[in-house]
Structure 1
Amino acid sequence: MGSYNQMPPEELRERAQAALASLESCDICPRSCGVNRLEGEQGYCRSGRYARVSSFTPHFGEEPPLVGSRGSGTIFMTGCNLRCVYCQNYDISHLGEGRVVSPAKLAEMMISLADGGCHNINFVTPTHFVPQILEALVEAAAMGLCLPLVYNSGGYDSVETLRLLDGIFDIYMPDAKYGSDAAAKKYSDAPDYTRVMKAAVREMHRQVGPLEVGDDGVAVRGLLVRHLVLPENLAGTAEVVRFLAEEVSPETYLNVMAQYHPCYKAYNYPELSRPITLREYAEAVAVAQAAGLDRGLRI
């Protein structure tokens, strides 16, 4: 059962309405573009009034606690509030591949994934579509949806918006992309990323705590954090690990990811134009292990 199932329907509707009102002068994400998305204006995320979805499907490539035996029901949202030059989903996040969907259609997607046996509903890159997700969730909950919800973001999230999700989302899975703002500015056009990410992760942890799994090994609630190792330690792994271990919780589930490979505009940056080495990955894992963040390590 999802946390939202324990919330009175009228409160869920009020949360959705409050989020939708924020679109009139959009401040849903930290960029606070101020455009009127209710009238179709687009800001940095290139998104308007309605959600855009690239695909929805049971996914078996996520973290094991999400996948279980039946997959994570992923809904890939189009667009993004970051501009990562090495984005592996650039066709979706940068080039806008996807289609506009109504709240009713988005609700039907959730129900379809639930009926297919998925363990959870996993919104990938949901930051700029929080109001639309909540609007659709009102309908999906009325249709009987009762799976945990996963908020799978780039970590560049507004604390104020996250507070609208308190008691609604069960599992948060943000990226902690960088340990320094210099790298965040250069490679993701987010000069204040570390401050924003750290505040967002603290809020996520306040709401759901460390990851909890059931007897079947499937996550039911809590925080998972992803950190992609970049060549030449450009992601600043040591600072990310220090922050999580010391300022969030030593019980934080951290997935140190090795799958970086150059794509999109990465070849324009010599330092990003190669995959990481085994040594670079091993060193990042060792940093996490030394801090006690070994719950999510795949060694």
Structure 2
Amino acid sequence: MLSRRAPSLFARLPTLSNPTRKKIPSWQPHIQLRHKSSQIGFLVDDPYIPRFQLLSPSQLAQKRSAAYAHLSNCNLCPRLCGVNRFERTGTCLIGADVVVNTIAPHFGEEPCIQGRHGSGSVFFSGCNLRCVFCQNHDIAHQKNGFHLTPEELGEWFVKLQDVGNVHNINLVTPEHVVPQVVLSILHARELGLKLPIVYNTSSFDSLESIALLDGLVDIYLADFKVWAASTSKRLLKADNYAETARESVKAMHAQVGDLCFTSDGLAKKGVLLRHLVMPGYEAEGGQIVRWLAEHVSRDLYVHVMEQYHPRAHVGKEKRGRSGRAREVVEGKALRYEEINRAVKGEEVESVKKAAQQAGLWRFVEPAEHALFSM
């Protein structure tokens, strides 16, 4: 029986059917290709069988046992807190259950992820990073939401599939709850889940964490935020971010390869790499895309994003040791003032040009009909 502990999470479902909505016209695949025959190499069989459906009983048991072991001595995240999460919490502030802010069909992802019916998104509270510009600050930096056991979470996956008719299960900011995610997928499999799993991550994942997810995740929707250690220490509060992201992205790609689609234009398996261009940090964006082309794959599907805007702690008044806001003098007493503006078009174009010059060619572009892109 499905959990009733979070009845308001699925409030958006009644809006799924709208008889007054205009019929969506038929579409043509929209993909930036060197030539049309290149598309053939990035198609998978339809219907697509999720990877967790292919695991043997022995492999399933091993995954379950490893997940419980990691909860007892939390060492999957690069923070290496080492706490027993059945008794206390570490940097992420989350224990043995998960805290979920929202579970609903979501239409804010790339067209090949959200499709017609939306991506079945699960927004977890908490995070193992502390990005000062976090676009989901109220969720990631605070414990806002509902407590769910891994088994209850798995039941919601099935509800998204059966009631929401979504195209996939999209786990948003799950790096700090990987053991619980593993247990929830295994439980949902027993209940009849047949949708691909999307792991929507900052890439601040350990190799052990990615290894535990092997065979369970179909699509890695991975960010690569900044390049320099000094930048990540200042803006993400993790000076080893880029080193960790390089290792984890390579491990993700080794598992699932380049992004592939079924013939309807929906992504089913592979890596979709995001880079959010930061104001004044376009040079680091260029370093990231060049590294991706040289060390991961020139066929990597890349989304150079321009949605940055100041959030969270950016632009707030600096505070003294007493906690009182300092007097603002000529606008120079604001926190993280260098990124307290929107990103410029030429900064975004600089990163895109660097990516093209490095040999990357598969980019997220909006389809003409605003539905799918490949």
Contact 2:282 2:348 in 1 (8 A): no
Distance 1:248 1:224, change over 3 A: same
What is residue 130 of structure 1 aligned with on the other side?
Answer: 178
Distance 1:234 1:33, change over 3 A: farther
Secondary structure, in 3 states, of the residue corresponding to 2:312? coil
Which has the larger displacement, 30-39 or 77-86? 30-39
Matches within 5 A, 1:96-245: 96-115=143-162, 116-233=164-281, 236-245=284-293
* TM-score, length basis structure 2: 0.77
Distance 1:52 1:13, change over 3 A: farther
Unaligned ranges ≥5, structure 2? 1-48, 316-334, 367-374
State the number of aligned residues.
Answer: 298
Secondary structure, in 3 states, of the residue corresponding to 1:150? strand
What is residue 139 of structure 2 aligned with on the other side?
Answer: 92
Shift of 1:235: 7.1
Picking from 338, 347, 350, the partner of 1:271 is: 338
Which residue identity lines up with residue 94 of structure 2 in the other structure? S
List, as ranges, runs of 4+ consecutive aligned residues in structure 1 with deviation greater than 3 Å: none
Picking from 128, 144, 149, the partner of 1:81 is: 128
Which residue identity lines up with residue 356 of structure 2 in the other structure? Q
What is residue 81 of structure 2 aligned with on the other side?
Answer: 33
Task: For 1:242 and 1:172, locate their aligned partners in 2 and report how far apart those are by CA, in whole Å.
Answer: 20
Please state if 1:59 is matched with 2:126.
no
Distance 1:170 1:146, change over 3 A: same
Task: For 1:175 and 1:235, locate their aligned partners in 2 and report how far apart those are by CA, in whole Å.
Answer: 17
Secondary structure, in 3 states, of the residue corresponding to 1:29? coil
Deviations, residues 22-70 of structure 1 (Å, cap 9, x unaligned): 122210201101111122x111111111111111111111012111122
More helix as a share of residues:
1
Distance 1:24 1:288, change over 3 A: same
Contact 1:180 1:235 in 2 (8 A): no
Unaligned ranges ≥5, structure 1? none
Structure with bigger gyration radius: 2
Task: For 1:257 and 1:130, locate their aligned partners in 2 and report how far apart those are by CA, in whole Å.
Answer: 26
What is residue 294 of structure 1 aligned with on the other side?
Answer: 361
Task: For 1:283 and 1:258, locate their aligned partners in 2 and report how far apart those are by CA, in whole Å.
Answer: 12
Please state if 1:248 is matched with 2:315.
no
Please provide the CA RMSD for this pair.
Answer: 1.3
Task: For 2:364 and 2:179, locate their aligned partners in 1 and report how far apart those are by CA, in whole Å.
Answer: 33
Please state if 1:42 is matched with 2:96.
no
Deviations, residues 204-259 of structure 1 (Å, cap 9, x unaligned): 00000000011011011000111000001267111111111000000011100000
Task: For 1:27 and 1:234, locate their aligned partners in 2 and report how far apart those are by CA, in whole Å.
Answer: 33
Task: For 2:110 and 2:363, locate their aligned partners in 1 and report how far apart those are by CA, in whole Å.
Answer: 8
Contact 1:55 1:76 in 2 (8 A): yes
* TM-score, length basis structure 1: 0.96
Which residue identity lines up with residue 359 of structure 2 in the other structure? G
